[in-house]
């Protein structure tokens, strides 16, 4: 494993731990509020859920595009067919095709896709 790989894995672990801790902190705060004012806590929990959904959707789209770019790079660097790429990265041929097409798509088109 390269130094960059190890550092990136550590950063991903730290990000996950930080997000999990932050989520727990927010949830605990809302829960404490619920002991005094359940309606206000419910409203905040609803907002919290909406924020998480929006964030997850945005990050999922960016991460999907990042993953697609890497799949296309593997295909190009190793001069693989779609079937070869699918085998190399452990997905179906149709999924490999989707990834390659996503990597080629203009950013605006990807953001507009539901």
Each residue of 28-75: pLDDT tens digit? 999 999 999 999 999 999 999 999 999 888 888 899 999 999 999 999
List the one residue out of 48, 50, 59 whose CA is nearest residue 25.
48
Percent of the chain past pLDDT 70, that is, above it, reads 93
pLDDT at 18 over 90: yes
Rounded-to-integer distance, Cα 75 and Cα 93, Å: 12
Q: What is the mean pLDDT of the chain?
A: 91
23 Cβ partners below 8 Å, 6+ apart? 52
Q: Which residue in the block uniquely carries the two structure tokens 């693989």?
A: 80
pLDDT value for 57: 87
pLDDT at 99 over 60: yes
Burial class (CB in 10 A: 0-12, 13-18, 19+), 98: middle
């Amino acid at each position: 494993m390269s130094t960059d790989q190890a550092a990136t894995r550590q950063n991903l672990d730290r990000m996950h731990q930080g997000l999990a801790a932050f989520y727990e902190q927010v949830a605990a705060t809302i829960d404490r509020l619920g002991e005094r004012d359940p309606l206000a806590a419910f409203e905040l929990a609803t907002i919290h859920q909406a924020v998480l959904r929006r964030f997850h959707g945005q990050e999922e789209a960016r991460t999907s595009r990042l993953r697609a770019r890497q799949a296309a790079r593997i295909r190009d660097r190793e001069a693989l067919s779609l079937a070869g790429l699918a085998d190399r990265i452990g997905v179906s041929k149709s999924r490999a095709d989707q990834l390659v097409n996503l990597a080629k798509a203009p950013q605006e088109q990807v953001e507009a896709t539901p």
